[in-house]
Amino acid sequence: MKTIKTILACALCAVILASCQPKSKPLPGITQGAVDSVSTAVGVAFGNMLKSSNLEGLNYSKIVAAIKGVMAGDTTLIFDGQSAPMYIQDYMMKVTDALAIQKEEEEKKFFEENKKKEGVQETESGLQYKIEVAGSEVKPTERDTVEVNYKGMLLDGKVFDSSYERGETVKFPLNSVIKGWTEGLQLIGEGGKETLWIPFNMGYGSRDMGPNLPAFSTLVFDVELVKVFPYVEKEEKTKK
């Protein structure tokens, strides 16, 4: 959740709005065109902040009225500079909980239908997978390091990340990634290929990972396990 970011952004917007208010006398060298442009820029910045902070679907007329009230010094507003951020934080927590329930219901329906497809299996954790190529007998443990090629997609097929597109494999400790990967990569051997359907609670959860990977995303990965590098215990060096 981006509570701190939202509160800071709100504070920043308030400062910018205050500085952009029309004055009784125009400032030297500042044209009306410049004022209009920066006003649009503030709106875009504020809109993007709202869009990425679980604050969509708001009553914009209330927002505008409150801004005007603050700038005019209206003392009858129901929130002040201290209570408003606290209320926003509380509201965002409620929205996050509501979205989680909604997405869980939608995801459950998808997984119920998906596991009916040929070759699709499901683990106790809820992870679904389909092994395309089993690979060798060399399977990784969660402490091992793996080298992979992969393509990550949303349920609508939109690709949000791909090592294939970058033209290079990726190497990482298996216990350093999302739970869906840690469990899923242990199901195939070196040289194997599989498709993973990862519930959002085994992925990035309520975190918004950018415009291509929103919060509560069910993840689909086509993964190729190129190589397994077994974990090696580090010997303690004694100082003499």
**pLDDT tens figures, 155-210:** 999 999 999 999 999 999 999 999 999 999 999 999 999 999 999 999 999 888 88
Instruction: Please check the confidence at residue 53 and state whether its pLDDT lies above 90.
Output: no
Instruction: Please check the confidence at residue 38 and state whether its pLDDT lies above 60.
Output: yes
**pLDDT tens figures, 108-129:** 999 999 999 999 999 999 999 9
Nearest Cα residue to 192 out of 237, 218, 227, 229:
227
- The predicted structure's pLDDT at residue 200: 96
Instruction: Please check the confidence at residue 71 and state whether its pLDDT lies above 90.
Output: no
226 touches 169 (CB < 8 A): yes
Q: Write the secondary structure of 186-209 as one string of H (helix), E (strand) and C (coil).
A: HHCCCCCEEEEEECHHHCCCCCCC
Top pLDDT among 69 and 158 is at 158
% the chain with pLDDT above 70: 85
pLDDT bracket for residue 235 (50, 70, 90): low
% the chain with pLDDT above 90: 50
Instruction: Please check the confidence at residue 76 and state whether its pLDDT lies above 90.
Output: no
Q: Set out the domains of the chain in order of their start, with CATH numbers.
A: 3-93 (no CATH), 118-229 (3.10.50.40)
Instruction: Please check the confidence at residue 20 and state whether its pLDDT lies above 50.
Output: no
Which residues are the active-site residues? 150, 160-161, 178, 204, 221
Cα 161 to Cα 103, 126, 220: the distances in Å are 22, 23, 11
- The predicted structure's pLDDT at residue 30: 82
Beta bridge partners of 219: 198
Mean pLDDT of the 135-162 span? 96
